[in-house]
Amino acid sequence: MDLTGALAALRRWWAVVLVAALLGGGAGLAHTVLAQERYEASTTVFFSLQRGETVGELAQGNTYTLDLVQSYASVATMPIVLDPVVADLGLDASSTELARDVTARAPLGTVLLEITATQPTAERAAAVADAVAARLDGAVTRLSAGREGSGAVTVTTTQPASVPTSPAWPRPVLDVGVGLLGGLLVGIAVALVLGVARARVDSRESLARLTATPLVGSLPDDPRGRTPVVASAAEPLGARSEAYRSLRTNLDFLRASPPSGAEPAVGADGEAAGGTATGSAGHGGGALSGGGQLVVVTSSVSGEGKTTTAANLAASIADTGQRVLLVDADLRRPAVASMLGLEGSVGLTTVLVGRAALGDVVQLWGPGGLRVLTAGEVPPNPSELLASPMMARLMAAVRRDHDVVVLDTAPVLPVTDAALLSTRTDGALVVVDARRTPARKVTETLTRLSTAGAPVLGMVLNRTAVEHDEYYGQRPSRRSWRRRRQPTPEATAGLPATDLRPAEDPQPAEASQPVEGSRPAQDSRPADGPPRRPGISGASGPSGSSDSSGSSGRPSTSSGSVRADPYGDRARAAPSTGGSASRPSS
């Protein structure tokens, strides 16, 4: 962990550091309150050599004494000195126990010895210090006795012990300070460990430190807790709607700027897939060049917002007039049907097992004409179905007939479905919950995709902090919001209605004439005949009868070639100039 990561961990886990410091300070305060009072008294003695008449002899004697002082400091705490002290003072402790309360220190370069005694009372501390000094004199005389029996070294008490007036222990300021410092250090250590173990990818900077995979989208969280299912339909001018448009734009840049050395991707049917593949995860920036694109939207674990991101991304691209198909490829816990209010009993699994044609189960949603293929019934073998040849043929078919195909898949870490499916598409978008996804899970996800050979187009940070611009990011006042909720008939004249329910089949093409060179109106029913069930687009109506008049009554364009709709409900003009066609007003 570098310095930036350490500071980020401390910012995130500041409460742990604070609690640890407070606990340490509390422990120091408790020690101050509960600890027994102890008093200290000190006695200073001086060592001198008796022999020596000349200056040279005195100098040699002084050197000799200096060498002995450190040894006499150790003698002061030995039984030869302390046993007589215990007997003299009548202490209820042994010499070994008393040795823990007596210290002897010789300042460097001196022949002085400072004897300190620590006892529960002030008088007893002074008495013990003086008694040790007196008994040390006798011990030194015996240890340095010469042939005549007199000691060569004399011990003189230069400063007797005085009775202390205040206890030496406990020391409230020192105890509390040491407790706070110790708790602070422990808290910092715990915060750093938690920062490594539970680091999140909650910003562009943290993502850049974790991986070289580019960030292609940052989706703000709604602080009001009312995040709509499809932001562009519920709040067209909201922050989340703009974030999805930005994600859409970034994918367009990926399409326009393939990486150097990228090779054309080959579809499952052996034909060119219309994109490029880089061959390694995390560098699939050019995977979106060419014709129809297949984009997988996945995440590390469940609950990170991958399904919402896939639906909003598909709806945002569909609003530009492109032919977009949203596929619920999460065959374990499908959520697209319930999220968009569509029929979920038939869908992808129905097509893969051969019970229905693709055009019979694709449904229309929203004013943008978004096509949705729900998951259908949950199968007992999701991985086998997604890896089957039928799935490969289906992916090749939807690639040919759509501009963009967005596939919502299962999370990467629990199951292998996303890795399998990503290898058959142009790449994956990995959604990361900035509030709760650990960095280690994101790293493991990218590693698994890389191991499987699945290119990663980019990362999408979801539920990031909302940053409002002073002008564009302002929320309307309560009064203006009320006026917006109750518009006048004059203000809404000629504007299309926004509905979160499955879109009704539009009127026949005679109701509006397209502009020269533009794409014809997206119609989901024949010009003549009974209307089909709202929200269902297919080659057959409710009774299963064939619908062959999908392109009747529609103007054609001379600026591009007309590509037949495989679902039989409309024809699409594909301008040969490569420019984006505008949608006719309805």
Question: Mean pLDDT of all residues in the chain?
Answer: 75
442: helix, strand or coil: helix
Task: Tell whether the model's pLDDT for residue 552 goes beyond 50.
Answer: no
Could you tell me the end-to-end alpha-carbon distance of the chain, in angstroms, rounded to an integer? 57
Alpha-carbon distance of 20 to 183, in angstroms, equals: 5
Check residues 66 and 563 and name the one with the higher pLDDT. 66
Strand partners, 264: 276
Task: Tell whether the model's pLDDT for residue 336 goes beyond 90.
Answer: yes
- pLDDT score, position 453: 93
Task: Tell whether the model's pLDDT for residue 186 goes beyond 80.
Answer: yes
Mean pLDDT across 53-75: 77
Report which DSSP code applies to 308. H
Residue 173 identity = V
pTM here is: 0.56
Check residues 311 and 561 and name the one with the higher pLDDT. 311
366: helix, strand or coil: coil
Alpha-carbon distance of 230 to 134, in angstroms, equals: 93
CA triplet 54, 60, 66: central angle to 5 degrees? 135
Which token pair is 490?
A: 């004059």
Q: Which residue is listed with tokens 């049907």?
A: 337
Check residues 290 and 581 and name the one with the higher pLDDT. 290
- pLDDT score, position 221: 79
Which token pair is 379?
A: 């199968």
Query: Is the CB of residue 272 less than 8 Å from the CB of residue 266?
Result: yes
Q: What are phi and psi of 190, to 5 degrees?
A: -65, -40
Query: Is the CB of residue 414 less than 8 Å from the CB of residue 432?
Result: no
Confidence of residue 560 (pLDDT cuts 50, 70, 90): very low
Task: Tell whether the model's pLDDT for residue 355 goes beyond 80.
Answer: yes
CA nearest neighbour of 317 among 417, 377, 250: 250
Q: Which residue is listed with tokens 């080659």?
A: 539
Query: Is the CB of residue 566 less than 8 Å from the CB of residue 358?
Result: yes
Query: Is the CB of residue 474 less than 8 Å from the CB of residue 468?
Result: yes
Confidence of residue 182 (pLDDT cuts 50, 70, 90): very high
Confidence of residue 557 (pLDDT cuts 50, 70, 90): very low
CA nearest neighbour of 348 among 329, 364, 326: 329
- pLDDT score, position 468: 54
Q: How many CB atoms lie within 10 A of CB 174?
A: 12
Query: Is the CB of residue 297 less than 8 Å from the CB of residue 407?
Result: yes
- pLDDT score, position 300: 95
For 489-534, the pLDDT digits (tens) are: 443 344 333 333 344 444 433 333 333 333 333 444 333 433 333 3
Query: Is the CB of residue 429 less than 8 Å from the CB of residue 419?
Result: no
Check residues 461 and 198 and name the one with the higher pLDDT. 461
Q: What are phi and psi of 140, to 5 degrees?
A: -65, -35
Alpha-carbon distance of 410 to 395, in angstroms, equals: 17
Task: Tell whether the model's pLDDT for residue 392 goes beyond 90.
Answer: yes
Confidence of residue 346 (pLDDT cuts 50, 70, 90): very high
Check residues 238 and 358 and name the one with the higher pLDDT. 358
Mean pLDDT across 89-115: 91
Residue 575 identity = P
Query: Is the CB of residue 55 less than 8 Å from the CB of residue 63?
Result: no
For 272-322, the pLDDT digits (tens) are: 333 433 333 333 333 443 458 999 999 999 999 999 999 999 999 999 999
Check residues 512 and 425 and name the one with the higher pLDDT. 425
- pLDDT score, position 279: 36
Task: Tell whether the model's pLDDT for residue 256 goes beyond 50.
Answer: yes
Mean pLDDT across 17-25: 95
What's the number of CA atoms in the CB half-sphere (13 Å) around residue 569?
Answer: 29
Check residues 145 and 468 and name the one with the higher pLDDT. 145
Alpha-carbon distance of 310 to 324, in angstroms, equals: 12
For 130-156, the pLDDT digits (tens) are: 999 999 988 988 887 765 556 678 888
- % pLDDT > 90, the chain: 47
Which token pair is 173?
A: 């300021």
Task: Tell whether the model's pLDDT for residue 540 goes beyond 70.
Answer: no
Mean pLDDT is lowest, of 70-84, 305-319, 367-381, 525-539, for: 525-539
Which token pair is 150?
A: 């007199």
Task: Tell whether the model's pLDDT for residue 117 goes beyond 90.
Answer: yes
Check residues 579 and 457 and name the one with the higher pLDDT. 457
By DSSP bridging, strand 370-373 and strand 324-328 are: parallel
Q: How many CB atoms lie within 10 A of CB 384?
A: 12
Query: Is the CB of residue 348 less than 8 Å from the CB of residue 329?
Result: yes
Query: Is the CB of residue 75 less than 8 Å from the CB of residue 81?
Result: yes
Mean pLDDT across 177-199: 90
Mean pLDDT across 566-577: 37
Confidence of residue 104 (pLDDT cuts 50, 70, 90): very high
- pLDDT score, position 56: 67
Query: Is the CB of residue 155 less than 8 Å from the CB of residue 47?
Result: yes
Name residues whose C-beta falls within 8 Å of residue 18's C-beta, 6 or more positions apart in sequence. 187
Which token pair is 442?
A: 């994101």
Mean pLDDT across 429-449: 92
* Bond before 79 cis per omega within 30 degrees: no
Mean pLDDT across 235-257: 82
By DSSP bridging, strand 112-119 and strand 39-49 are: antiparallel
Confidence of residue 332 (pLDDT cuts 50, 70, 90): very high
Confidence of residue 52 (pLDDT cuts 50, 70, 90): low
Task: Tell whether the model's pLDDT for residue 423 goes beyond 60.
Answer: yes
Mean pLDDT across 382-400: 93
Which of 210-228 are b and which e, b meaning 16 or more Cβ less than 10 Å from the residue's Cβ? bbebbbbbbbbbeeeeebb
Across 106-212, where does the E strand assignment appear? 112-119, 153-159
| DSSP string computed for 451-488 | HHT--EEEEEEEEEPP---SSTTPPPPHHHHHHHHS--
Check residues 122 and 58 and name the one with the higher pLDDT. 122
Task: Tell whether the model's pLDDT for residue 411 goes beyond 80.
Answer: yes
Q: Which residue is listed with tokens 């007196």?
A: 134
Radius of gyration in angstroms for the set of CA atoms belonging to the chain, rounded to a whole number: 42
**377 torsion bin: left (phi>0), alpha (psi -120 to 50), beta (else):** beta
